[in-house]
Chain A
Amino acid sequence: MHLPVIFKVLSLLSAIVSLSMVLPLGWSLWDGSSDGKAFLLSISAGLIFSAVLFMAGKNADYNDIGVKDGFLVVSLSWIFASLIGALPFYISGTIPTFAGAFFESASGFTTTGASVLSDIEAVPRGILFWRSLTHWLGGMGIIVLSLAILPFLGVGGMELFKAEVPGPIPEKITPRIQQTALYLWGVYAFLTVAETVLLLLGGMNLFESLTHTFGTVATGGFSPLNRSVGQYGSAYFDWIITVFMFLSGINFVLHYRLLRGHFRPLARDDEFRTYLWIVLFCIAVISADLLFRGNYDSIAEALRYSAFQVVSIITTTGFATADFELWPSFTQLILLLLMFAGACAGSTGGGMKILRLLILSRHTRAELKRVLHPHAVISVKVGGKVIDTRIQSSVTSFLILYVAVFIAGVFFMTSLGMDMESAMSGVAASLGNVGPGLGSLGPMDNYSAVPEAGKWLFSLLMLMGRLELYTVLLLFFPGTWRK
Chain B
Amino acid sequence: MNGFLVAKFLSFITGIVSLSMIWPILWAHFDGSGEVRSLVISMILGLTFSGLLFVAGRHHTDYKTVGIRDAFAVVSLSWIFASVVGALPYYIYGMAPAYTDAFFEAMSGFTTTGASILTDIEAHPKSLLFWRGLTHWIGGMGIIVLSLAILPFIGVGGVHLFKAEVPGFGLEKMTPRLHQMAIRLWGIYFGLTAAQVILLLLGGMNLFEALTHSFSTIATGGLSPLNKSIGHYNSPYIEWVTTFFMFFSGVNFVIHYRFLLRQSGAYRDDEEFRLYAFIVLFSILFTAAVLLLRGYYVTIEEAVRYSAFQVISIITSTGFCTTDYELWPVSVHFLFILLMFAGGCTGSTAGGIKSLRVLALARHVRAGLASCLHPQGQFQTKIRGKTVSQDALASVTAFFILYLVVFIAGALFMAALGVDFVTAASSAAASIGNTGPGFGTVGPTENFFHIPAAGKWVLSLLMLLGRLELYTMILLFSPRTWKK
Contacts and interface: CB of A to CB of B under 8 A. Distances in A.
B261 to A, nearest CB: 31
Contact of B411 (A333, A366, A369): A333
B364 A400 contact: yes
Contact of B408 (A337, A398, A407, A474): A337
Interface in A390-429: 392-394, 396-401, 403-404, 407, 410-411, 414-415, 417-421, 423
A329 B420 contact: yes
B334 A154 contact: no
A289 B419 CA distance: 14
B421 interface: yes
Interface in B421-439: 421-422, 424-425
Nearest to B294: A417
A368 B373 contact: no
Contacts of B415: 328-330, 332-333
A168 B40 CA distance: 82
B398 A363 contact: yes
Contacts of B335: 411
A367 B421 contact: no
Contacts of B362: 400
Nearest to A425: B421
A261 interface: no
Contacts of B290: 415
B123 interface: no
A364 B334 contact: no
A67 interface: yes
A123 interface: no
Contacts of B471: 368, 371
A477 B373 contact: yes
Given A400-B364, A423-B330, A374 B372 contact: no
A368 B391 CA distance: 12
B156 A397 contact: no
A174 to B, nearest CB: 19
B475 A470 contact: no
Nearest to B472: A371
A14 B404 CA distance: 42
B369 A474 contact: yes
Most buried by A among B329, B398, B420: B398
A176 interface: no
B402 interface: yes
B401 interface: yes
Contact of A474 (B365, B373, B418): B373
A59 interface: no
A479 interface: yes
B195 interface: no
B369 A330 contact: no
Interface in B380-428: 390-391, 393-395, 397-398, 400-402, 404-405, 408, 411-412, 415-416, 418-422, 424-425
A244 B404 CA distance: 32
A364 B330 contact: no
Given A371-B155, A371-B156, A420-B330, A397 B475 contact: no
B60 interface: no
B334 to A, nearest CB: 5
A401 B367 CA distance: 12
Interface in A259-303: 289
B68 A393 contact: no
A144 interface: no
A393 B373 contact: no
Contact of A389 (B371, B374, B390): B390
B398 A67 contact: no
Interface string B140-152: 0000000000000
A67 B374 CA distance: 8
A333 B334 contact: no
B364 A474 contact: no
A153 B369 CA distance: 12
A322 to B, nearest CB: 18
Contacts of B154: 371
Contact of B68 (A332, A372, A401, A411): A372
B364 A415 contact: no
Nearest to A334: B412
B330 A418 contact: yes
A397 B364 contact: yes
A37 interface: no
B369 A400 contact: no
Contact of B369 (A334, A403, A473): A473
A420 B422 contact: yes
A470 B369 contact: yes
A360 interface: yes
B365 A417 contact: no
Contacts of A441: none
Interface in A428-483: 470, 473-474, 477, 479-480
A413 B365 CA distance: 24
A367 B373 contact: no
A394 B368 contact: yes
Contact of A368 (B419, B424, B474): B474
Given A67-B373, A374-B155, A477-B369, A329 B398 contact: no
Nearest to B474: A368
A68 interface: yes
Contacts of B69: 372
A68 B373 contact: yes
B174 interface: no
B263 interface: no
A172 B221 CA distance: 62
A102 B62 CA distance: 72
Given A368-B474, A414-B331, A473-B369, A360 B401 contact: yes
B139 to A, nearest CB: 24
A155 interface: yes
B443 to A, nearest CB: 13
Contacts of A337: 408, 412
A393 B364 contact: yes
Contacts of A372: 68-69, 475, 480-481
A480 B338 CA distance: 30
A401 B365 contact: yes
Contact of A411 (B331, B390, B408, B421): B331
Interface in B347-382: 361-362, 364-365, 367-375
Nearest to B330: A414
B334 A411 contact: yes
A110 B361 CA distance: 29
Contact of B372 (A155, A421, A423): A155
B333 interface: yes
B65 interface: no
A300 to B, nearest CB: 24
B299 interface: no
A473 B361 CA distance: 17
Most buried by B among A155, A368, A404, A473: A368
Given A334-B412, A372-B68, A421-B421, A479 B373 contact: yes
A392 B421 CA distance: 33
A337 B475 CA distance: 25
Contacts of B364: 393, 396-397, 400
- Give the 6 A-B CB pairs with smallest separation, nearest first: A397-B368, A367-B398, A396-B397, A414-B331, A330-B415, A415-B331
Given A369-B480, A396-B400, 16 more contacts: A154-B372, A328-B418, A329-B421, A363-B398, A367-B395, A368-B471, A374-B155, A389-B390, A393-B368, A393-B390, A396-B394, A400-B400, A414-B333, A418-B330, A477-B373, A480-B373
6 contacts: A67-B374, A364-B398, A372-B68, A393-B393, A400-B361, A423-B330
Interface of B: 68-69, 154-156, 290, 329-331, 333-335, 338, 361-362, 364-365, 367-375, 390-391, 393-395, 397-398, 400-402, 404-405, 408, 411-412, 415-416, 418-422, 424-425, 471, 474-475, 478, 480-481
Interface of A: 67-68, 153-155, 289, 328-330, 332-334, 337, 360-361, 363-364, 366-372, 374, 389, 392-394, 396-401, 403-404, 407, 410-411, 414-415, 417-421, 423, 470, 473-474, 477, 479-480
